[in-house]
Chains A and B, each alone.
Chain A
């Protein structure tokens, strides 16, 4: 589970970051900047790269039909819900990206309920204050669907939804970037675990919907607003990590050396 209060990898307090944040979906509508660089302000502290490795665990809980899915979603730890929305993006698959989470995928493949799959597929986890709010939203949606259907849709034996979670090890890499140019130089060679940590997992830590690179660049002032707007436009859910790294690197093209 990603605790909201965990230490951040970038300098500054949580309050600083909230003030500086540019949430996804609001590119161009910058919030007031508290510490943009002035002529005499010291440069921001270096960006410290972290890396993470994840391993998946089974919770030993499963759901055969929609009613059971509702009951299990209500009781599993938030780490499991987070896994099925975020970490499962790392699972080997060629699935159609319209299913942006495991619940939508199962609604389609397991329950053969296209209506539910489309609704669940549209859920963007980063729009919620926390995972508990996401849980409430999922439960509401499933209750609505149960009310619409005379029988709870059910999956064939062997195709149950299995609840999983992740265990994550976060490491200091020792790599730092002291300027935005150095940050740009490092990104194309960044380990994918590091990219996941800073660009995807970063969205889940307060302030929500802001990746770590954008939050740090904000401290360098308006020169990098263009990079931040391009980063905000990259949808991390649509790409493999190697593809995502290329796209993130492209956002930095043309910045002054």
Chain B
């Protein structure tokens, strides 16, 4: 999708602004590195960020590190530890983690060392920095995880790796950790024109609902997320069970697994056990590219829930708000930035709290509509990719000019 197309959604002045900011960065080489091409929010962000940076004149590229099952088992532990779980980090696994990064550094050395900016996403590829001694650009560690209360030994280990970066990016102020370099705060965003978020024909929404045998006459509550314990899918089923005696609600838990998440299948089994043979609790395992199906389910839903116990940001919340749905979200991490209690939805801490708010909303259609409109406006102003793109450009200009609080460009960037 071209930048001009986004001008129609975000406003032409927003796109002009991006072009101006990008002008001093023209021809700069940017490399993004993460650990999966498909599945999860990071891959979705990079899928639009890289082409748009190119369209703005930057030489942006996206590399994916390769690793074994053992490597991803360890990085999942790092991820969980960063989110506060007490995890074991056995030395042989840590050595494998570093070896895998060393091997990837050999493979990617050319592009990484000559890049002007390298954005390394999350802990999986973080050690690449140490294996690129000939690097000439600025290296930025982008942490997408809720690191507000990391497990101490996990953070001690990771800190030793990421402290060498030139800057880091966290989604929220509460996630930022003491580090000896500038720490930028940039919330992620959604692509309003992607298959996941673009308007869909009514017929397609209906077709998806028929395929999944959803009753068009009864209310639908939806949670879309990977099958991950931090997303509390079992808690969502318990909430639905508390609602069912009062309102004939249908619950859909829709999600997939990512190639860098080895726990997905185990959690899926737990969820299926909890759902049992209840026809009103549907567990849908969708392929990572089922964007239109997810889009359709979100549009059909009456209430969207994201009852996470920890959440880096929660792009599924943004997606639901963009589609005008009120969201009941876990009172944690990035959800609190989007679900503004009593404005765009409700924040909850327990299945009981979630159940009450589901009943509360379903009995107030006017409030649901009002919250939905507010949520969509809120996303338009704050969480569309154009804002995220602008933040990345501003950060790069900032890093090029040292730690100055203010950078002024004279007439040279004028159109």
Taking A57-B182, A92-B381 as contacts, is the C-beta distance between A170 and B20 under 8 angstroms? Answer: no
List A79-101 residues whose CB lies under 8 Å from chain B: 79, 92-94
| Count of chain B residues near A, Cβ 8 A | 48
**Contact status B405-A166, CB under 8 Å:** yes
**Contact status A60-B178, CB under 8 Å:** yes
| Distance from B314 Cβ to chain A, minimum over Cβ atoms (Å) | 14
A242 to B381, CA, bound (A): 9
Q: Which residues of B lie under 8 Å from residue A167 when comparing CB positions?
A: 394-395, 398, 404-407
Among candidates B374, B390, B407, residue contacting A170 with C-beta atoms closer than 8 Å: B407
For B167, the closest partner residue in chain A by CB is A57
| Distance from B400 Cβ to chain A, minimum over Cβ atoms (Å) | 10
Among candidates A53, A162, A164, residue contacting B21 with C-beta atoms closer than 8 Å: A53
Contact with A along B390-414 (1 / 0, CB 8 A): 1101110110000011111111111
Q: Which residues of B lie under 8 Å from residue A193 when comparing CB positions?
A: 17
Contact with B along A90-125 (1 / 0, CB 8 A): 001110000000000000000000000000000000
B244 at the interface (CB under 8 A from A): no
**Contact status A57-B407, CB under 8 Å:** no
Q: Which residues of B lie under 8 Å from residue A1 when comparing CB positions?
A: 405-406
**Contact status B398-A174, CB under 8 Å:** no
**Contact status A162-B173, CB under 8 Å:** yes
B362 at the interface (CB under 8 A from A): no
Among candidates A56, A173, A190, residue contacting B184 with C-beta atoms closer than 8 Å: A56
Interface of A: prevailing SS: strand
**Contact status B394-A53, CB under 8 Å:** yes
A169 to B410, CA, bound (A): 11
A2 at the interface (CB under 8 A from B): yes
B161 at the interface (CB under 8 A from A): no
Among candidates B174, B186, B393, residue contacting A158 with C-beta atoms closer than 8 Å: B174
For A58, the closest partner residue in chain B by CB is B176
A74 to B408, CA, bound (A): 29
**Contact status B413-A55, CB under 8 Å:** no
A119 to B381, CA, bound (A): 31
A3 at the interface (CB under 8 A from B): yes
Q: Which residues of A lie under 8 Å from residue B393 when comparing CB positions?
A: 53
**Contact status A162-B406, CB under 8 Å:** no
A162 to B415, CA, bound (A): 38
A181 at the interface (CB under 8 A from B): no
For B12, the closest partner residue in chain A by CB is A189
Interface residues of A (CB under 8 A from B): 1-3, 6-7, 51, 53-58, 60, 79, 92-94, 158, 162, 164-174, 189-193, 240, 242
**Can you list 29 A-B pairs with a CB-CB distance of less than 8 A?**
A53-B21, A53-B390, A55-B394, A55-B398, A56-B184, A56-B185, A56-B186, A57-B184, A58-B170, A58-B173, A60-B178, A92-B337, A94-B340, A94-B343, A166-B405, A167-B394, A168-B406, A168-B407, A169-B394, A170-B406, A171-B414, A172-B410, A172-B411, A173-B414, A174-B411, A189-B13, A193-B17, A240-B381, A242-B381
Interface residues of B (CB under 8 A from A): 13-14, 16-17, 20-21, 148-149, 170, 173-174, 176-179, 182-186, 337, 340, 343-344, 374, 378, 381-383, 390-391, 393-395, 397-398, 404-415
